[in-house]
Amino acid sequence: MRFVRLYSNGQAHRWTLKRSALWLNAAVLVSAYLAREAEASPEDAARTLGFESTGDWTVSQGSGLIAQSEVRTQGLGAISVSSGGWTVVDSRLIGPLTGVHRELSLDLQLPADAHTANPYWSGSLQLLLSAPSIGLWNRWIQGVELSGLPVGQFQTVRFTLPDDVLAALEGASFYDLVFSLAFNVPGTVAGGYILDILYIASDMPPNSTVGTAEVAPILDFEVAHGWELLHGQELGLAAQHTSGNFSLAIEPASYDELKSLPLVTIGPVDAQVSFDVRMPDVPANPYWGGAIQLLLDAPSIGLWSANLGTAQLTGLPSGEFSKLTFQVPENVRALLSQNYSDLRFKLAFSVPPNAGVFYIDNFQVGEITRPPSVSAVDLRQDIVGRASEGLALIEVEDAGDAQPAVEDAVFYIREEDRGCEPSATQVCRYLVHLTRFHLGQFSLRNKSFDSATISAETPFRVSMGGANGMTAPIPSATRFLFALNGESNMVAMFGATASSTISITPAGSGFISATLEFHGRVERKDIDVLVSAVADSPLVNRPPVAHAGADIQATASGCELFATLNAGASYDVDNNIASIRWLSDGTFQAGLGPTPSVRVWAPGANLFTAVVTDQFGSESRDDVVVTASFPQGCPQ
């Protein structure tokens, strides 16, 4: 008989696994056969591990509930688990995987009352794997303590696969893999624990985030997947356009709604927004052309179908583009400058029956949709500094303190105001990436640590010069991942304190210095971290230049078509290109390397984007259009 010791509200319990394992064996083997018959595809795995649908996850133990969440870190959704104490949620059956990582990661957001329901214990989250066909029976992988993690925002938690589990998963043929997430939390927590993207391999699941870089192509109607028509017929991208390369052609029903994907923060927003509409070539009703109403949805910031006005279509010229404008109230503009990931634009159509084809293009909302100024050479100087000296102080409750050296640190800073020199009268804005602080070996109370790393979860903005001076506080919302590696693996996410600062002097030889201070709890122990580093003579990094090649005409002999893309002409004057990847429709990863062979799914224009990134994170993009033709009778 095998027992596993679990904890609930501080009390230890024994959980008998033998009988449930025998039952699970029979059930999973039958389900595995059905999964093989249904061909558990990579698309199924991507959707499941991206937490895109509640239908892919079930509560197998406990009284918890699963709900869909539009608050997410990637894709179109996440799931929220209301645990109520002890709850286990299981994934659908998943098929073979390749390139499995030893370290898995999961995006987790704790509810607001995660720490207040029980001030002494916030619980834990455990990961288990089952795949009887390869010898995995409810195998416990690792647990993560929830105490000390921030609430109300996502952080990444990590699980390390044992050697035998990694070997069993890599390259094996199975159709019965189940991921189980076990919540052991105070029963009085009312809010839901939000889960997104369980990242297990290099491209599984593919990150389909509608991030900041994708907002402009979606609002410019350059990608077909960015909008959904509720009732009528969405005809796809069209060559008629007023901006970019395409517009979106739709044939709406009399009362219809064109809705965008959920978008991340787009602010600041202009007081007046607009988009272009091309009326049908022949009016269906010569006396009434209809109307379009613009609405906004963003429940996380209190916007539910906020009405920005109605534009009348009667009198607009047929077969030509006209600009429609809408006023944005000040209170709505203020809300749109906050952080969110659930903004949807909705265009509500009221048009004559069988009105014909409308073309929509060039949605202008603010800075995010204004095209950058074009110049022959991009002269923006991105500052890159590598630390020449630094020291850290790490104090852990009941384990003493250590003072490891900063062996290496890389600062990557983008000048948001090109050519700006901060001074007593000149304020300059910077986007800061603290890509890595790497600390050397040290010991804490008989425990040796090979290293420690500190990295910013996301970039942050600071201003230098003027009344700000040359030292700026790091925004308190900035989250840093702190990882101790060695005999004991400890990972935590801390927020910057008021003592965390950065200084930038780009002129002359220049220097960059940063001081970071964190306080928190890891594995039920108080931990304080103080690290400072100075980089002198910062380099000037020049972004790469992407070339996606000439547009391609491709004709399929059957119903499958592959095209070879070519970004071989891309270059970097600093000779430090780190990667080249390709996106389909500006969002979904299609291939890696300069000349991948990619699947082309749809007839007509297919947009692929080459994304060239250098060693310091600067990137450049270029598009190529593959126009595909398929024989008659192929699925469309």
CATH (domain of 440): 2.40.160
Structural domain harbouring 183: 3-201
d(CA 511, CA 498): 22
d(CA 302, CA 304): 6
Higher pLDDT, 543 or 353: 353
What is the per-residue pLDDT for 405? 84
353 and 399 in a single domain? The answer is no
- CATH number (domain holding residue 588): 2.60.40.10
484 pLDDT exceeds 80?
Answer: no
Mean pLDDT, residues 295-321 taken together: 91
In 165-254, beta strands by DSSP E: 178-184, 193-201, 227-229, 233-238, 247-251
Least confident of 248-252, 356-360, 404-408, 591-595: 404-408
Structural domain includes residue 132: yes
32 pLDDT exceeds 70?
Answer: no
Structural domain includes residue 546: no
483 pLDDT exceeds 60?
Answer: yes
Structural domain includes residue 33: yes
d(CA 98, CA 2): 31
397 and 493 in a single domain? The answer is yes
297 and 440 in a single domain? The answer is no
607 and 477 in a single domain? The answer is no
pTM: 0.39
227 and 321 in a single domain? The answer is yes
Least confident of 15-24, 460-469, 528-537, 598-607: 15-24
d(CA 539, CA 574): 11
80 and 141 in a single domain? The answer is yes
489 and 601 in a single domain? The answer is no
216 and 196 in a single domain? The answer is no
CB 582 within 8 A of CB 566: no
Q: Which among 514, 541, 568 is the end of a domain?
A: 541
Q: Hey, how many other C-beta atoms are within 10 angstroms of the C-beta on 327?
A: 12
Over the chain, what is the mean pLDDT?
79
- CATH number (domain holding residue 291): 2.60.120.260
478 and 569 in a single domain? The answer is no
CB 186 within 8 A of CB 122: yes
Instruction: Tell me the pLDDT band of 272, cut-offs 50, 70 and 90.
Output: very high
What is the per-residue pLDDT for 173? 77
17 and 166 in a single domain? The answer is yes
Structural domain includes residue 376: no
% of the chain at pLDDT higher than 90 = 22
Instruction: Tell me the pLDDT band of 300, cut-offs 50, 70 and 90.
Output: confident
User: Which residues are bridge partners to 292 per DSSP?
Assistant: 311, 349
Q: Which among 175, 201, 227 is the end of a domain?
A: 201
Torsion of CA 129, 133, 134, 139, to 10 degrees: 20
353 and 243 in a single domain? The answer is yes
Q: Which among 161, 180, 201 is the end of a domain?
A: 201
Q: How many domains does the chain have?
A: 4
Residue 159: which of 194, 114, 129 has the closest Cα? 129
Most confident of the ranges 482-491, 509-518, 618-627: 618-627
189 and 336 in a single domain? The answer is no
